[in-house]
């Protein structure tokens, strides 16, 4: 398939806000492709090459001075081969060799193809082709239910793998993609409730569990082989030797466990999230301070459990790994749940998770049967820009411009972001130094002391609520926002939505003036 056809389809997808039209356009593009070309096309459409990181950023792209081709000649397979060559070009002199490769590629591209390639390499492909829409397009292109495509993608951990299976073997290929031990599964996520009573009203009788401020882990074991994945399905097994040994001691031949790991101090209280994450990045692994806390089990000894209700999964979890279970209480009584919340908070943890006992494990989805309850509002937002500081912060990138994600439920079908506020609060000197070092690699433009950034950095923000705003395009602004931490463990698809911010409007009078906006 010609690369120009993909570029043209992307432009048409970006021009419509209707999900059905986006799906139809993408389905028409994908339908005639071979399995290999399907995998390549999905990477080009999503902005995530199948090769992973290729080490080409804005500085390399901005220096290209190539005359565009008058006629389209590039194939998507040609683009894929060029990406492979770029990824394999390393070592002394690699920068100049990559520059030559990029110049040759851009010289063969038409003007519109070159524009797309620039945006692709710097992570700016945002035409509204979210994974959910791509999954529906694959289903439509090959005449299979969208639910089957999404389930196969979630269980295999990769939409491209599901797409390749359906192109090769149709529905049978999808159905064969079940849970595979030692292959990461997209984790189930939680919705938010303001208190335990509201959560229980939504879930019914539930497992009320301590919510830890740790790092999500998914542990797989087959015989003596153990693999440990992050929430983004990055393999971190080599960094956690003590945890590997603990998992090998469990009385099973094969198992898949979902949970968190947390650094516990000598006083048996949790250490900071940063301390937990730092142990993952140590050159010499030492995870003896990290403890596993498991809250779910997806597979044991040849049996998949994801389609069983939670109460049955928990019984298996207790049998297999009871010594590592997260503290929890089964109840339908708000008073009992409130006591569990108080115990969690007094022990230094974030809050509680309320999980309906009849709920299934919805891999890759933000399920309604899981509800998180935290006393302080927090949102995971993307950094859209930053301002150069003044006074003692002179020379540092300081005040952050924060954005919420526009999701399909908003009616736009876009994966874009809307600005919802600014903040400089909570930024330690360490964070200021880090921002100033890391942000320049993602700068798109700079004007009047403010740098605009590609959506890349995700930050957890604590706030007092939200208020109506005429300043920001989403009509809502954060109140008293302050930085808690950066979330390098999260994806852009996990950034909180504009609707999540608007929901906070209900918790305070709308008539309060905007002068208290945390943008100050």
Q: Which residues pair with 443 in a beta bridge?
A: 453
pLDDT of residue 447: 87
| Three-state DSSP state, 68 | coil
Q: Choose among 277, 266, 258, 256: nearest CA to 213.
A: 277
More confident residue, 163 or 281: 163
pLDDT at 134 exceeding the cut of 90? yes
pLDDT at 112 exceeding the cut of 80? yes
Asked if 368 is an active-site residue, the reply is no
pLDDT at 185 exceeding the cut of 80? yes
Spot the catalytic one: 140, 211, 355, 374. 211
More confident residue, 297 or 271: 297
pLDDT of residue 156: 85
What's the half-sphere exposure (Cβ side, CA atoms, 13 Å) at 39? 13
Q: Which two tokens stand for residue 140?
A: 């439509």
Residues 6+ apart with CB under 8 A from 19: 133, 136, 408, 413
CA dihedral 96, 98, 104, 105 (to 10 degrees): -160
pLDDT in tens, 346-383: 998 989 999 999 999 988 777 789 999 988 788 999 99
pLDDT in tens, 393-440: 889 999 999 999 987 544 333 458 999 999 999 999 999 999 999 999
Residues 6+ apart with CB under 8 A from 393: 424, 432
pLDDT at 76 exceeding the cut of 80? yes
Question: Contact, 185 vs 363, CB < 8 A?
Answer: yes
pLDDT in tens, 198-223: 999 999 999 999 999 889 999 999 99
Q: Quick one: DSSP state of residue 420?
A: E
More confident residue, 363 or 453: 453
- Averaged pLDDT for residues 492-500: 91
Q: How confident is the model at residue 34 (pLDDT cuts 50, 70, 90)?
A: very high
pTM for the predicted model, two decimal places: 0.69
DSSP per residue, 178-230 = ---TTS--PPPEEEE-SSHHHHHHHHSSEEEEEE-SSEEEEEEEETTEEEEEE
Contacts 24+ apart (CB under 8 A), 26-29: 26/129, 26/133, 26/134, 26/137, 26/141, 27/136, 27/137, 27/138, 27/140, 27/141, 28/141, 29/1, 29/5, 29/137
- Averaged pLDDT for residues 176-196: 90
DSSP per residue, 319-339 = HHHGGGBPPEEEES-HHHHHH
Q: How far is the CA of 153 from the CAs of 102, 132, 157, 187, 298, in angstroms?
A: 32, 10, 6, 12, 16
pLDDT at 520 exceeding the cut of 50? no
Element housing 485 (H / E): strand 482-486
pLDDT of residue 40: 96
pLDDT at 270 exceeding the cut of 90? no
- Averaged pLDDT for residues 288-294: 87
Q: How many CB atoms lie within 10 A of CB 388?
A: 17
**Considering the chain, what percentage of its residues have pLDDT values greater than 70?**
93
Q: How confident is the model at residue 324 (pLDDT cuts 50, 70, 90)?
A: very high
pLDDT of residue 90: 85
Q: How confident is the model at residue 479 (pLDDT cuts 50, 70, 90)?
A: confident
More confident residue, 131 or 160: 160
Helix 3-15 / helix 19-30 crossing angle, nearest 10 deg: 170
Total residues belonging to the chain: 520
Task: Return d(Cα 108, Cα 78) in angstroms, integer.
Answer: 10
pLDDT of residue 442: 93
Residues 6+ apart with CB under 8 A from 375: 345, 351
Question: Contact, 401 vs 422, CB < 8 A?
Answer: yes
pLDDT at 120 exceeding the cut of 80? yes
pLDDT of residue 516: 32
Q: Which residues pair with 297 in a beta bridge?
A: 257
Q: How confident is the model at residue 313 (pLDDT cuts 50, 70, 90)?
A: very high
Element housing 449 (H / E): none
More confident residue, 510 or 241: 241
pLDDT of residue 82: 95
Q: Choose among 405, 498, 365, 366: nearest CA to 126.
A: 405
Question: Contact, 142 vs 166, CB < 8 A?
Answer: yes
- Averaged pLDDT for residues 318-343: 97
Q: Which two tokens stand for residue 70?
A: 């008058």
| Three-state DSSP state, 407 | coil
| Three-state DSSP state, 141 | helix
Question: Contact, 154 vs 280, CB < 8 A?
Answer: no
């Amino acid at each position: 398939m010609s690369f120009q056809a993909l570029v043209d389809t992307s432009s048409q997808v970006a021009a419509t806000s209707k999900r059905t039209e986006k799906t139809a356009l993408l389905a028409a593009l994908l339908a005639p492709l071979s399995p290999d070309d399907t995998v390549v096309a999905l990477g080009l459409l999503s902005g995530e090459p199948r090769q992973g990181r290729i080490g080409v950023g804005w500085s390399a792209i901005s220096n290209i001075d190539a005359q565009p081709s008058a006629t389209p000649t590039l194939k998507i397979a040609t683009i894929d081969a060029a990406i492979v060559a770029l990824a394999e070009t390393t070592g002394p002199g690699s920068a100049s060799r990559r520059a030559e490769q990029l110049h040759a590629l851009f010289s063969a591209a038409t003007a519109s193809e070159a524009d797309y390639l620039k945006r692709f390499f710097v992570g700016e492909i945002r035409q509204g082709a979210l994974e959910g829409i791509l999954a529906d397009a694959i289903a439509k292109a090959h005449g299979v239910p969208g639910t089957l495509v999404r389930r196969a993608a979630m269980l295999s951990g990769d939409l491209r793998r599901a797409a390749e299976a359906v192109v090769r073997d149709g529905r049978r290929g999808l159905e064969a993609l079940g849970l595979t031990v030692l292959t990461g599964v997209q984790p189930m996520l939680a919705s938010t409730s303001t208190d335990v009573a509201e959560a229980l009203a939504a879930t019914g009788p539930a497992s009320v569990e301590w919510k830890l401020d740790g790092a999500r882990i998914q542990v797989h074991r087959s015989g003596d082989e153990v693999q440990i994945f992050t929430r983004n399905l990055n393999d971190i097994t080599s960094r956690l030797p003590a945890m590997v040994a603990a998992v090998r001691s469990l009385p099973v031949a094969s198992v898949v466990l979902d949970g968190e790991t947390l650094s516990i101090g000598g006083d048996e209280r949790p250490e900071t999230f940063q301390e937990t994450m730092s142990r993952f990045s140590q050159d010499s692994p030492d995870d003896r301070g990290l403890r596993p806390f498991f809250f779910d089990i997806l597979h044991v000894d040849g049996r998949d459990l994801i389609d069983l209700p939670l109460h049955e999964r928990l019984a298996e979890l207790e049998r297999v790994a009871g010594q590592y279970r997260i503290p929890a209480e089964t109840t339908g009584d708000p008073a009992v749940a409130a006591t569990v919340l108080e115990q969690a908070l007094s022990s230094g943890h974030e809050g509680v998770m309320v999980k309906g006992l009849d709920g299934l494990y919805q891999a890759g989805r933000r399920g309604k049967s899981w509800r998180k309850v935290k006393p302080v509002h927090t949102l995971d937002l993307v950094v859209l820009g930053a301002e150069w500081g003044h006074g003692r912060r002179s020379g540092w990138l300081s005040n952050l411009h924060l954005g919420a994600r526009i999701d399909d439920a908003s009616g736009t079908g876009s994966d874009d972001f809307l600005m919802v506020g600014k903040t400089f609060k909570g930024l330690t000197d360490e964070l200021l130094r880090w921002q100033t070092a890391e942000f320049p690699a993602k700068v798109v433009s700079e004007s009047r002391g403010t740098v605009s950034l590609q959506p890349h950095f995700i930050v957890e923000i604590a706030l007092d609520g939200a208020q109506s705003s005429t300043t920001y395009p989403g009509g809502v602004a954060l109140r008293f926002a302050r930085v808690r931490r950066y979330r390098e463990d999260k994806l852009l698809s996990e950034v909180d939505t504009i609707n999540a911010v608007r929901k906070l409007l209900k918790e305070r009078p709308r008539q309060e003036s905007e002068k208290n906006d945390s943008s100050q």
